[in-house]
Structure 1
Amino acid sequence: MDRKYKLTYFNIRGLAEPIRWMFRLRNVDFEDERINLDQWPEERQRFTKQVGQLPILLIDDKIELTQVHTVMRYVARELGFNGESELEEARADEAVELVYDLRLCAVAHKDCYTTVNPDIVSHTIFRDFRNEKSISKKVLMRKRLLEYTFPLYFSKFAQFLEDSGGEYLAGPNMTYADLAVANFLDVCEDNINPDILNDFPTLKALKEEIFEIPEVAEWVAQTKTASASGA
């Protein structure tokens, strides 16, 4: 039976972009409801019973799933992006949890940027950092990320690639972890430093491979055009 999906998230890539990609890669129609960040203080009242958190996946107009990793893993299982074995599933889960850890590492530097949405800062952290006008405030966070945090975690991702044979993070097949890591790396290049992958050629190759997938490339181009037009 074909299911009906509606994904509600902010009008950013953030944490939910890999979910959108999975739908597109499998040619599965879904409603992509986006909430502008400046409208969130008012809009969040709609989601009181979901404890005011996004994303929300509505299935067949009656079943709701919340929490980003729950939604991501459900879609991965439904669409075949969760690995071919229990170990591959676990490795994919591990990589995605590490991506979230990286976001929390950045959130911890709360004195280095100003956020207008403190309750959802884990989703907007790198955008907040980019938009911070004070160069001096950003120095500490950028230094810590570039000299310690990124190398530590990126080395772990690179080891996953080496252990799996060099193409994908969890095994011989692409999983949702590859999408999540590629999206994260691109966000960091855009908002922190475009050279962060210079010392990690295998991660750079993975990111480029994901972004060259026709469905992903088309989606990225469409959403960038929509953002530029104010949509």
Structure 2
Amino acid sequence: MSEDESEPPPYRLVYFDIRGLAEPVRWMFCLAGLPFVDERVPLVEWNEAKKRYQDHVGQLPILYFDDQELSQVHTVMRFVARRLGFNGLTDMEAARADEATDLVYDLRAVTYRECFTTKTPDIVRHTVFRDFKNEPSQKKKEPMRKDLLDIHLPKYLSKFEELLDSSGGRYIAGTTLTYADLAVANFLDVATEMIGPDILDDFPGLQELKENVFSLPPIQQWCATRTLAQGYSSGG
């Protein structure tokens, strides 16, 4: 069979042309050495493109596989994790992975609505990271940064470190790499890029976790490929 006649990869992930919340799903495919279709929808095309996804309440990501489809980012993430072996070795490890990933989503949802403006509100949620990075007024940025450093980040990052310590200090949910490690590392990388690398100064365990995840060869290769091919925008 020629290359043109070969069967397509069994998984097709449709998401925006950003890292966002679906990046750990892409990483799991890479770590498992599993080909997949990485279908990207440019943000500027979404107002028109979302009409194609009304069966999924006009939201991405959507995972297509075996003539089936799944929506909602955490559903997709956990499904792929279970299939590819990134969901922990016990029920408790799976639950810890869920806990850590849900905490990531909670922290991303901290809002500063009085500062936030966007032309694509159904894509780019009201996240504190994007609010802070895009706020042009230094006067407004000062209290935002203070709240981040004094309230929000210590509360959540301390919880991540607690989970990390309780599992032995290498992985956040147990004795093996789980999708939670990928979700947390992706989140930390976006947060340090948008707010500043100093946010991890008091959390060496999380800094090491992030470095360990980004040092995995399949993820290194993925990040380099995306940087060269189409840009590697954080995308919140």
* Common fold by TM > 0.5: yes
Q: Are 1:13 and 2:16 matched, yes or no?
A: no
SS of the residue 1:205 aligns to: helix
Bigger mean CA offset, 217-226 vs 127-136: 127-136
Aligned length: 226
* Per-residue deviation, residues 13-61 of structure 1 (Å, max 9, x unmatched): 110000000000001111001111111111111111110011000012x
Q: Are 1:225 and 2:209 matched, yes or no?
A: no
Match of 2:95 in 1: 90
What pairs with 1:84-163 in structure 2 (closer than 5 Å)? 84-105=89-110, 108-122=111-125, 126-127=129-130, 129-163=132-166
Question: What amino acid is aligned across from residue 10 of structure 1 in structure 2?
Answer: F
Contact 1:57/1:64 (8 A) holds in 2: yes
Bigger mean CA offset, 42-51 vs 121-130: 121-130
CA distance in 2, matches of 1:55, 1:184: 17
CA shift at 1:206, angstroms? 0.4
CA distance in 2, matches of 1:46, 1:228: 25
SS of the residue 1:189 aligns to: helix
CA shift at 1:112, angstroms? 2.1
Contact 2:13/2:38 (8 A) holds in 1: yes
Q: Are 1:24 and 2:30 matched, yes or no?
A: yes
CA distance in 1, matches of 2:181, 2:94: 12
CA shift at 1:136, angstroms? 2.9
What pairs with 1:168-183 in structure 2 (closer than 5 Å)? 168-183=171-186
Question: What amino acid is aligned across from residue 119 of structure 1 in structure 2?
Answer: D
CA distance in 2, matches of 1:118, 1:225: 28
* Per-residue deviation, residues 44-94 of structure 1 (Å, max 9, x unmatched): 11111110011000012x211000000000000000000000000000000
Match of 1:55 in 2: 61
Bigger mean CA offset, 40-49 vs 124-133: 124-133
CA shift at 1:187, angstroms? 0.2
Contact 1:76/1:176 (8 A) holds in 2: yes
> Unmatched 5+ residue regions in structure 1?
none
**Percent of residue pairs bearing the same amino acid type:** 56
Bigger mean CA offset, 43-52 vs 120-129: 120-129
CA distance in 1, matches of 2:130, 2:230: 14
Question: What amino acid is aligned across from residue 93 of structure 2 in structure 1?
Answer: E
Contact 2:14/2:63 (8 A) holds in 1: yes
Question: What amino acid is aligned across from residue 21 of structure 2 in structure 1?
Answer: L
Is the helix fraction higher in 1 or 2?
1
- Relative contact order: is structure 1 or structure 2 higher (C-alpha 8 Å, sep ≥ 6)? 2
Match of 2:4 in 1: none
CA shift at 1:124, angstroms? 6.9
Q: Are 1:194 and 2:210 matched, yes or no?
A: no
For normalisation by structure 1, the TM-score amounts to: 0.92
Q: Are 1:78 and 2:63 matched, yes or no?
A: no
CA distance in 2, matches of 1:202, 1:37: 35
For normalisation by structure 2, the TM-score amounts to: 0.90
CA distance in 2, matches of 1:114, 1:57: 30
RMSD: 1.9
